[in-house]
Structure 1
């Protein structure tokens, strides 16, 4: 059996945390912008850090597993 949890969690986090798609931290004019489809290097860095921390939380600390 293959463990599908890392693939599904990483894909979902990547889709939700892509800067500018749903929200952007920090925004250009405000601390949080919603659906503006514009990014900055600082926003990419913040989203990458949040992605890495959440991925570690789900996979290493909580040890999520999904066997199909």
Structure 2
């Protein structure tokens, strides 16, 4: 059996934290903008830091594990 937890957590966080898809911090005109489908250098940096923090929390602190039997 293999552990699919890190794969699922990584994919879900990547989708949710893509800058401009659901939200963008910092936005171009406001601090938080929702669904504008645009990005900038500072927002890529902020979202990368958030992604790293959440992936560490879910994989190291909570230890999310998903096992699939074939």
TM-score by length of 1: 0.98
Count of residues in correspondence between the two structures: 68
Structure 1's unaligned 5+ residue stretches are none
Question: What's the offset of the Cα at 1:53?
Answer: 0.3
CA RMSD, Structure 1 to Structure 2 (Å):
0.4
What is the TM-score when the length of structure 2 is the normalising length? 0.95
**Hey, which bits of structure 1, 4+ residues long, moved more than 4 A?**
none
Deviations 1:5-59 (A, max 9, x none): 0000000000000000000001000010001111110000000000000000000
